[in-house]
Amino acid sequence: SQQGEEDPQALSIQEGENATMNCSYKTSINNLQWYRQNSGRGLVHLILIRSNEREKHSGRLRVTLDTSKKSSSLLITASRAADTASYFCATSGGYNKLIFGAGTRLAVHP
């Protein structure tokens, strides 16, 4: 079953702008991960944030986690056309099983 919701479902921006995607989940977690999927392809791991962390950076990516609100956000700064993809959050509560959110489809226009 899906863990929760992501918003927005779709986001369209211009190159150079920042993109923010949000994810909510329902149960206790060990960690939360963000993945990227180009159309018709498999998923690529972007970043993992543990339940005891509040913020994490990786290049142009910034992830926050608020366990009290059961929510996370992914910020992509200075977006590029190549960032066009679907982005999914996924939570892990045990046994290494991942439960994915609904995803945000990001379109970055040159």
DSSP of 40-64, one letter per residue?
A: TS-EEEEEEEETT-SEEEETTEEEE
Binding flag, residue 96, another protein (CB under 8 A): yes
Q: How far is residue 88's CA from residue 33's CA, in Å, rounded to a whole number? A: 8
Choice from 25, 103, 106, 108 touching another protein (CB under 8 A)? 103
Binding flag, residue 41, another protein (CB under 8 A): yes
The number of helices, as runs of H, and strands, as runs of E, in the chain is 0, 11
Kindly state the smallest distance separating residue 16's Cβ from another protein, in Å. 27
By CB under 8 A, name the binding residues for another protein: 1-2, 30-31, 33, 35, 40-45, 48, 88, 92, 95-103, 105
